[in-house]
Structure 1
Amino acid sequence: MIQSHKNGLFSIQQVADMTGLSKQVIRKWEERYGIIQPKRLENGYRIYSQEDVKMLLKIKLLSEQGHSLKKSILLVKESEEDPEVPLPKEETSNYEQWNEYVFRLLEKGSHCDEIEINFILKQAYHHVGLESFLTGIVLPFLKEVGRKWENDEWSEYQESVSSLVVRDFLIQIRRNYHYRESAPFVLGACLPHEYHEIPLHLILLRFMMKGWKTQLIGASPAPGSIETLVSKLKPNMVLLSATTTLPFETDSQLLRRLDQFAEKQTETAFYLGGQGAVTYVSDYQPRSIHVTNSIDDILK
């Protein structure tokens, strides 16, 4: 991997892997519009900086949102020349926060290279610490993976490999994290028929940094298992997650039953989060389960 200075330098193939743009398109945008000025090695090969990659990503995103290519380039150039000039969509500003680890993960993720993804995650975790690792590397990477999959830039296999490697790495961190025996206990659980467990791993790690003992019920637990474990383990808090509305569509009485169960657990606080839950509870408002999509509301 080309990496000549602290900001990182990438070959055109690496840039293509990171952005989803073909090498031909990258060269065309460079030569026709002059939007980036890559350096050249002695052999003539182009090398691109992180700032070059970020600019390409911004232009690509704006064009996907309906702007013409010329308009997208103009908007990005104006924002680069004057930081006070905002871009039309807030998502483009997220690229400014990306660091080299995010770029490298995207490159290896495009090739479904599990070993390299895991190696980069390990490097990043030990280099920046847990909080920065979660907020500055894992979250941006997963959001971009999801965006690429939704836009058919990545196949289901590419999305699955990248997400599963991240999930397994987060599990390793949680298993090796130390806590006091007297620590408060939080139990996290996906609802039955909900398979997206990574958001819970991220939330539970935030709790661990605050000194909590944590445990997770995995994806799509059997009906009744949440109630059984809560009754047995007596956690101080239960975090329920539904990224999709599938749990409620599959079992229309699920939330009502869980709410009735939570009402009887006077020593345990229940929270329900995820976009699916927030969407669904517009039709049914639970009395004993607090619905929120903000971990800060729970941790305060």
Structure 2
Amino acid sequence: MPVITAPLDSTSHQDPADSDQLFPIREVSRLTGVNPVTLRAWERRYGLIQPTRTESGHRLYSKSDIETVHRILDWIGRGVAVSKVGKILARDDQQATVVRSEQDTVEDAEWPQWQARLRQAVSGFDDRMLERLYGQIAGTYPLSVAFQNVLMPLWEELLRHRSQFGQASEWLFYDAFLCAQVAQRLHLACASPAPRVVMAAIPGECRELELLVAALLISRDDLAVKVLGMGQPFDELTLVCEKTQPCALVVFSNHSPNHDLHRRLNRLALTMDCPLFLAGAASELAEDDLAGSSIGCLGNEGRLMQRRLRQFLNGQLDT
């Protein structure tokens, strides 16, 4: 397990988001909460980070390196062993390259500018300004871009720093706002006569907003997504589907799958009258275990999840 140090007050230090300069290992440790010993081990043993070196051999880390450290921490927090993180990061980078090529009309430089304005609204607990910015972002970009490249990265940043004084309140304010906005969109979509997909989280394996955003990105005009409440009992999903008759059930998890997940999903699939799918980070990590089963893996990226779900339901993709 990595050795984590408590983050210190950052008021007297320069934030890497404000500069392209290189940072020494002690500053990276302060910014990320990861002990220098652990940072060196991630470099030497696993090749997860590749800092540059000064002529005297001292490590210097870029903003990209610091972002990589946060990504590593996110995956470790989901229960993934550090020895497996490298392969996941490489896969995520490959997916991001594909998504970026599909979004070549979007200026990446605009996203940090929107996030800076959002951060100002959040730090001032200004719900009116936040609602105005949200409407502008949602009206400027496709939903997948708005959430994955603008809204959720700030949410994740605030979540990482919520242990600092004041940050927890800011994250809760922003989280509650986004949950309300996404839930309202999903509710309006479910009022239409379009066929429904039921979506449920595996208890304790994601946050509510992650589930809601995934449902929003999966939904489309001809397919509504009904999200079950957080804490929905796994063993009662069959009962819910018997009564609601959805065209599919999507189970969502952002946690590393335990050894029993594929067995539980296979047992659940045997009791279902509709197709069963797994979405979220767990679907990518469990893909090998579920290969050849009746459970389809949708992935963890908005456009990919929607595309795979459509292909599965249309019989264009085998589980």
Which category describes the TM-score, using the shorter chain as reference length? Answer: 0.5 to 0.7
Q: TM-score by structure 1 length? A: 0.59
**Gapped regions of structure 2 (runs ≥ 5):** 1-8, 29-48, 54-58, 64-92, 101-106, 312-319
Deviation at 1:209, TM superposition (A): 2.8
Q: Secondary structure at the match of 1:235?
A: coil
What letter corresponds to residue 192 of structure 1 in structure 2?
P
Aligned-pair identity in percent equals: 13
> Match for residue 147 of structure 1?
157
Query: How do 1:115-130 residues align onto structure 2 when only pairs under 5 Å count?
Result: 115-125=128-138, 127-128=139-140
Q: 1:236 to 1:166 in 2, by over 3 A?
A: same
Change (3 A) 1:60 1:188: farther
Distance 1:276 1:61, change over 3 A: farther
Specify the code of the residue in structure 1 equivalent to 2:176: L
1:220 partner letter: G
Q: Is the 8 A contact 1:239 1:273 kept in 2?
A: yes
Alpha-carbon offset, residue 242 of structure 1: 0.5
Aligned partner of 1:261 in structure 2 is 268
* 1:160 paired residue number: 172
Q: Secondary structure of 1:98's match? A: helix
Give the distance between the partners of 1:212 and 1:203, measured in 2 at CA. Answer: 14
Q: Partners in 2 of 1:57 and 1:226 — Cα distance?
A: 49
CA radius of gyration, larger in = 1
SS at 1:149's partner residue? helix
Residues 1:225 and 2:225 are matched in the alignment:
no
Aligned partners of 2:298, 2:219: CA distance in 1, in Å? 20
Q: Is it true that 1:173 corresponds to 2:179 in the alignment?
A: no
Do the aligned residues in 2 keep the contact of 1:260 with 1:288 (CA within 8 Å)?
no
CA contact (8 A) 1:58 1:95 kept: no
Q: Contact between 2:262 and 2:289, CA under 8 Å: does it hold in 1?
A: no
Report deviation, 1:188: 0.9
Give the structure-2-normalised TM-score.
0.56
Q: 1:178 to 1:152 in 2, by over 3 A?
A: closer
Residue 101 in 1 paired to residue 111 in 2?
no
CA change 1:142–1:59 in 2 (3 A) is farther
For the 8 Å contact 1:186–1:214, the answer to whether it is kept is: yes
Alignment of 1:46-65 (within 5 A): 56=18, 59=21, 64=28
1:86 — aligned with what? none
CA distance in 2, matches of 1:177, 1:258: 28
2:249–2:277: 8 Å Cα contact kept in structure 1? yes
Q: CA deviation at 1:103?
A: 2.4
Matched position secondary structure for 2:200: strand
Please list every run of 5 or more consecutive structure 1 residues that lacks an aligned counterpart in the other structure.
1-19, 27-52, 74-89
**Amino acid across the alignment from 2:246:** P
Report what 1:278 is aligned to: 284
Asked if structure 1 preserves the Cα contact closer than 8 Å seen for 2:238 and 2:271, the reply is no
Could you list the runs of 4 or more consecutive aligned residues of structure 1 that deviate by over 6 angstroms after TM superposition?
60-63, 68-71
Q: 1:113 to 1:60 in 2, by over 3 A?
A: farther
CA change 1:257–1:71 in 2 (3 A) is: closer
- Opposite residue 111 of structure 2, the aligned amino acid is W
Q: 1:59 to 1:275 in 2, by over 3 A?
A: farther
Q: Deviations over 1:99-146 (max 9, x none)?
A: 643321122223444443234223433x33xx6244135642312331
Opposite residue 201 of structure 1, the aligned amino acid is L
Partner of 1:191: 202
- How many residue pairs match? The answer is 230
- Deviation digits for residues 13-37 of structure 1 (CA, Å, limit 9, x no counterpart): xxxxxxx9869848xxxxxxxxxxx
Question: 1:291 matched to which residue of 2?
Answer: 297
CA contact (8 A) 1:194 1:219 kept: no
